[in-house]
Amino acid sequence: MEFTKMQIDHIIPQYNFINDVINKWRIPSFLTHLKFNEYDHIDNLMPSCRVCNKWKSAFDLEYFRNEIFQQIRRLNEKSSNYRMAKRFGLVIESAKPIIFYFETIKQPSIHNETKLLEIE
């Protein structure tokens, strides 16, 4: 998907943010520096396609990752159309890890940004 068609999503959902940050629940290690009022901090924002943003809703990142991963199991259990398509080789299942777009981009560290600012 084109980057310009993506939406902004919160890694730690706004709905859970204060409770999660204060109690350190479900906080990814790279976001432990956030304070209870920083839900719109740039570090907590990621690009997301419209479908994923809507589907993720108030899920935390790992719960959402697991929800996506479980789709093949659910389709096998509940969809005869899916099982038929798989039987005829129209569907090839993969158990590859779920990696989100923002996880593929190397983020500059705060230390590197500070050094750049000092040089300029």
CA distance 96 to 68: 11
Cα distance between residue 12 and residue 62, in whole Å: 10
Q: What is the mean pLDDT of the chain?
A: 84
Q: Which contacts qualify for 24-33: CB closer than 8 Å, 24 or more apart?
A: 26/60, 26/61, 26/62, 26/63, 28/61
Which pLDDT tens digit goes with each residue over 98-113?
998 888 876 655 444 4
Return the half-sphere exposure (C-beta side, CA atoms, 13 A cut-off) of residue 91.
14
pLDDT tens digit string along 19-28?
A: 777 777 778 8
> Has residue 115 got a pLDDT over 50?
no
On the question of pLDDT at 114 being above 60, the answer is no
Domain-by-domain residue ranges, the chain? 3-119
User: What does the pLDDT look like over 36-45, one tens digit per residue?
Assistant: 889 999 999 9
H helix count then E strand count, the chain: 6, 2
